[in-house]
Structure 1
Amino acid sequence: MLSTVLLLLSPLSWRVDIPVEFWMRQVFMAMLLLVIFYFNMLWFVPRVLLKGKHAVYLLSTILGAVLFVGLLIYADNFLHLPELMHKAFNPDKPYVQKERRISGDIFNIMLYLLTIGISTSVASVQKWQKDESLRRELDQQRINTELSYLKAQINPHFFFNTLNNIYALTNLDVKKAQEALLKLSRMMRYVLYENQKNETLLSREVSFINDYIELMKMRLTEKVTLNISVDEPKDDLVIAPMLLLPFLENSFKHGVSSQQQSEIMIKLEVMGNTVFFETRNHIFSVHAESPEATENGIGLVNTQRRLSLLYPDKHRLKFGKDEAKQEYWVNLTINLE
């Protein structure tokens, strides 16, 4: 502590033979200041000041200053320090007892207040750091809980639609249905193991997307044109699992018609640590009360919420309808750095 160092080292610059009693008094003062420092930091500030008892803290600090100066005066008189110091600095002059100089007491009070100020600041910073750490922990717990809830909503939504697709295939082409089941089992393995994690390799997410697209192809007719462009990413990039799935589901749910020509465009491009994802599809109306319309709304809202929680200030999501072309489009950019 700075005040303790000053008390013990500054007298060494004096060019006199300092009596032992002076050092005893300095050590006593240093011990007092250390006790005050740690008592104030560890007990008094947390129990009084930070509990809102400001008047009690102020009054106690003033009384502590009086007691501190009183103890130093008593120590000086007990050790006969004024007389010994007079002899050290003025050996040729007789000692005459005088009234105590107030300047010395002011210096001691300044040391006391400095000790109180520093210890109060340290205690306040420690309390702030503890509160901030607790706040971050609670926020992280809240986010993890919310993300688990959002993922739990997305997973049944996805598998419900996929199983419906495979069920339809069993009546048309058994071999294709078997292939679809094989792909679905691979996708389910991905969901069971990777979706429980906060992050997965982007390469695995891309493989999942490719499997999903291949699965969807099996139920499409010649009236649907697919324009797919998916980059192979680097192995060291990671992303939240199943983050892009709702956008894909959107395209295949609302961009396919059994009677009209349609086109679905899906593009995923990786440049450095940034992922650019885009979908575009024709709009074919779905009955507002149908399960698909309701589930689609849930998936999109949840994905927006996941993006805001997982990639705050690191993503940009835009989507809308092009009325002239009767198309729905999505543009998503994520910085995975």
Structure 2
Amino acid sequence: MKPRSAMPQIKNLWIIHVLGWLLFMVLPLTIMSRESDVYAQFKLLQSGSLWLFFLIYFAIFYLNIFVLIPGLFLKQQYILYSIIFVAGLSLIFYTQPFEKLIFQKFHESEQIGRTGREERFRLPPPEMRMDTDRPPPGEIRPENPLRVDFVSLVLFVVVWVVGMATKISEQWRLSEKKVILSEADKAQAELSFFKAQINPHFLFNTLNNIYSLAITKSDHTAPSILKLSKMMRYITEEATQDFVPLHDEITCLESYIDLQKLRLNDKTRVNFKIDGEIKNKQIAPLILMTFVENAFKYGVSNRFENEIDIRLESTATSVYFFCRNEIFEANEAGERQGIGIANTRKRLDFLYPDRYDLKISKEEKTFEVSLTVH
């Protein structure tokens, strides 16, 4: 799965690079095309000086993203990295690649292209020329000032900044991927912790109940052992996946509820209703178990009449779960919003990002949970 998902990203990255360099190639020609001559531009495209200009900036860009940024900037050697940037900018300032490799060549080509199409003025014989370049006696003409190649400087800064943006965004994507993988490992660890938490407590109580059934030679002994076996197999094997068939999750809940009923008396009534089509649907394992377990842990009384309502509805696009139970002061320990529900929220955030709606309401004597996953 990973190689197939990586190939389109690599392909798209190369396409972006190629399009970027094509835009870079068009930019200098656009700057020089005020006095456009198609023939001159075509001749310039065939000249080695133009491709040497591109090669210089090509080398600057990839030297920056493959050597300087990983070796200096990402290792927080900002001073040395800045010194190299200033040195490169100074070198471009003095070498003037655009001025010397393209601008002058371009106008030379334009001058050649005008040959035969423009009338040339003949210079007078040497003896009739006026030496206009010679300054008058006693006058000192200043030397020609150094021309600044702004195009080369701007392109250098653009190439450098784009290289930094490209590499930093790549590092950000890698960091984000590591965070996602870390969250996945964390969610898996929390699921394992939850299973380790539910197994001993539930297992010991259920075995004690089954032992009582065996002592009394109840007909429910063998079916209870079979349900416990299937449930523990589901928790330890099938529930290791991110998603499981909804039918298997419901079977686990039914087994759990039936085993819990072994310890209940006539004061407690449990209603478990399923509506809709559950075939070919999937759900995150043990997401619902947390709320059902809490309902039996905090909503059961041996002295007062009590009722637990559990309802599950499956539609074409969503699964709706509802659980309601009464609250008894003897069982209130402030743990209802404890680690079980907190871990369930985190797993929902990871497995159903922006695709679930969890509502938990606690009134004076009633606790309700409604969960919809899409």
TM-score exceeds 0.5: yes
Take 1:113 and 1:101, find their aligned partners in 2: how far apart are those partners?
21
The match for 1:4 is: 25
- Once the two structures are superposed, the pairs formed by residues 60-139 of structure 1 within 5 Å of their partners are 60-72=84-96, 76=100, 84=108, 88=112, 92=120, 99=144, 102=147, 105-139=149-183
CA contact (8 A) 1:315 1:332 kept: no
Given that residues 311 and 323 in structure 2 are in contact (C-alpha distance below 8 angstroms), is that contact kept between their aligned partners in structure 1?
Answer: yes
CA contact (8 A) 2:295 2:324 kept: yes
* Residue in structure 2 matching 1:309, options 336, 346, 349: 346
Task: Say if 2:177 is the partner of 1:154.
Answer: no
Kindly provide the amino acid, as one letter, of the partner of residue 239 in structure 2. Answer: N
Measured at CA, do residues 168 and 232 of structure 1 come closer, stay the same or move farther in structure 2, by a change above 3 Å? Answer: farther
Q: Any idea what SS the aligned residue of 2:312 has?
A: strand
In the superposition, relative to structure 1, how do residues 252 and 165 fare at CA in structure 2: closer, same or farther (>3 Å)? Answer: farther
Q: CA deviation at 1:300?
A: 6.9
The Cα RMSD (Å) is: 3.9
Partner of 1:262: 305
Instruction: Report 1:20-39 matches (<5 A).
Output: 23-39=47-63
Instruction: Find the partner of 2:283 among 235, 239, 250.
Output: 239
Are residues 179 and 11 of structure 1, via their aligned partners in 2, closer, same or farther at CA, if it must alter by over 3 Å? same
Percent identical among aligned pairs is: 23
Q: CA distance change for structure 1 residues 189 and 203 in 2, over 3 Å: closer, same or farther?
A: same
TM-score, structure 1 normalization: 0.77
- The answer to whether the 8 Å contact 2:44/2:105 transfers is no
Which 5+ residue runs of structure 1 have no aligned equivalent?
none
2:77 paired residue number = 53
TM-score normalised over the length of structure 2:
0.70
Corresponding letter in the other structure for 1:316? L
Q: How does 1:143-222 map to 2 (within 5 A)?
A: 143-222=187-266
Greater CA drift, 312-321 or 43-52: 312-321
1:209-266 CA-to-partner distances (Å, cap 9, x unmatched) read 22233333445444443444333552233233233334434444555555x4523222
* 2:156 aligned partner, one-letter code: Y
In structure 1, what is the equivalent of residue 37 of structure 2? Answer: 14
1:42 equivalent in alignment to 2:32:
no
What amino acid sits opposite 2:47 in the alignment?
W
1:63-104 alpha-carbon deviations (Å, 9 max, x no partner): 212323444569949xx969956853786479999958725x
2:272–2:309 contact (8 Å) kept in structure 1? yes
Q: Which runs of 5+ in 2 are unaligned?
A: 1-20, 124-131, 134-142
Could you tell me whether the CA contact under 8 Å between 2:360 and 2:370 is conserved in 1? no
Sort the Cα spacing of 1:271 and 1:158 in 2 relative to 1 into closer, same or farther, 3 A.
Answer: same
**Alpha carbons of 1:308 and 1:255: their partners in 2 closer, same or farther (altered >3 Å)?**
closer
Output the CA distance in 2 between the equivalents of 1:21 and 1:158: 79
Aligned-pair distance for 1:29?
0.8
Count of residues in Structure 1 that have an aligned counterpart in Structure 2: 320
3-state SS of 1:102 partner = coil
